[in-house]
Amino acid sequence: MTEIEDLLREDLRGKTPYGAPQLDVPVQLNTNENAYAIPDDVAAVIEQYLSRQVRSLNRYPDRDAVALREDLAAYLGQGLTVDHVWAANGSNELLQQLLQAFGGSGRTVLGFMPSYSMHPLLARGTGTAFVDAGREADYTLSPAFVRDAITEHDPDVVFLVSPNNPTGTALGADVIDAAYEAARGIVVIDEAYAEFARDPRSTALNRLEGRPRLVVTRTMSKAFAFAGARVGYLAADPELIEKLLLVRLPYHLSSLTQAAARGALACAAQLQAEVDELKHQRDRIVKNLRAKGLPVADSDANFVLLGGLADAAAVWRAVLEEGVLIRDVGLPGRLRITAGTEEETTALLDAFDTVMGRRPELFCANLWFASFTEKEQ
């Protein structure tokens, strides 16, 4: 009998699916989730929105999610309308739809790794060739670096992430403009963590006008504490959004998902207070780890990238033994830490105190660089 593996597409054979360690420990700071549960008053509003849909679940949802898109456009501002916004089951589905429409067999998508690890997986799943242009020595991207990579590889789609995961660094407008000017195809700015930016004005939404090939993707998973609901959205030229309808599945966004998202959007102001607290805890992590002599990059996301580790995997295990789960993203001498609640942050800092006291040989500051604006020597 033929093995299932033999029936699988050749480019998928031997591959493993996306995943992150899910361990039962007291403090989980590894997947960049919002550390705060939905507040009771916000939950009550969401429940009201949901209750209006329950009795009509025998009917299909609004195929185009018009009411939700109107609410999302109002939330984004920038003069955007319902025709400029599209929504799906998490930003991953949006990225997949973009590749289904503008990528595919014989086409390429250009990424700049290390970055969001789903980008090459989504490319593979849609039969799109993924090209990794890498990054500069300090993991940043300059306009010249991006422009040269696009000129060299001539991609059909370009993926840029701002703030970037796992580095936490945001892109300047000059980098976005350079990418758009150099590319002949679609330029996607993945802004999953945009609400955590130190300068909210840095969003690529500012660059949309007059750029019909530019796309800005967002998610409600992070700032809205909505990871379990799976709601992503994008902003782009209305003509581009029309093309995405060619590949979307019918009724892809359930009535309950649309209703829950609208309830959360109605409470955006309340949820922003928790975003501000997470930004405070993120900056607290940076300040305190630096005070311990550990180099940490400034971050515009809800996580930080820690360096100066002689053995990142050993530090990860040692911190885990203290009941704190962080993320080994595979970068030499570096680990990623999600910002948590005040109590979780205290536990994290205490864990590092303990590990540094017991295992000082695991830490080596010369593995890092002074800042993300200076090259490694």
Cis peptide before 332 (omega within 30 of 0): no
What would the pLDDT profile of 298-356 be if each residue is shown by its tens digit?
999 999 999 999 999 999 999 999 999 999 999 999 999 999 999 999 999 999 999 99
Closest residue by Cα to residue 244 from 125, 84, 361: 84
Does residue 376 register a pLDDT over 70?
Answer: no
DSSP state string for 199-246: SGGG-GGGG-TT-TTEEEEEESTTTTS-TTT--EEEEE-HHHHHHHTT
Kindly report, residue by residue over 31-55, the tens digit of the pLDDT.
999 999 999 999 999 999 999 999 9
In a domain, 220, yes or no: yes
- Structural domain includes residue 17: yes
Q: Are 77 and 217 in a shared domain?
A: yes
Question: Over 80: is that where the pLDDT of 19 sits?
Answer: no
Q: Are residues 207 and 278 in the same domain?
A: no
Answer yes or no: do 75 and 172 share one domain. yes
* CATH (domain of 281): 3.90.1150.10
Q: Using alpha carbons, select from 157, 153, 149, 151 the residue that is nearest to residue 104.
A: 157
Q: Looking at the structure, do residues 204 and 162 belong to the same domain, yes or no?
A: yes
Judgement on whether residues 358 and 248 belong to the same structural domain of the protein = no
Q: Whole domain around residue 59: which residue ranges?
A: 40-267
Portion of the chain with pLDDT greater than 70, in percent = 95
pLDDT at 12: 87
Residues in the chain: 377
Considering 267, 287, 313, which residue would you say is the last residue of a domain?
267
Q: Strands (DSSP E) along the chain, which ranges? A: 27-28, 85-88, 108-111, 129-132, 157-161, 186-190, 214-219, 232-236, 303-306, 324-325, 335-338
For the stretch 185-232, pLDDT in tens is: 999 999 999 999 998 788 999 999 999 999 999 999 999 999 999 999
Q: Are residues 90 and 186 in the same domain?
A: yes
Tell me the pTM.
0.91
**Is the same domain home to 68 and 22?**
no
Do 16 and 55 lie in one domain? The reply is no
The pLDDT tens digits of the residues spanning 90-119 come to 999 999 999 999 999 999 999 999 999 999
pLDDT at 21: 65
Answer yes or no: do 357 and 240 share one domain. no
Q: What is the mean pLDDT of residues 58-76?
A: 97
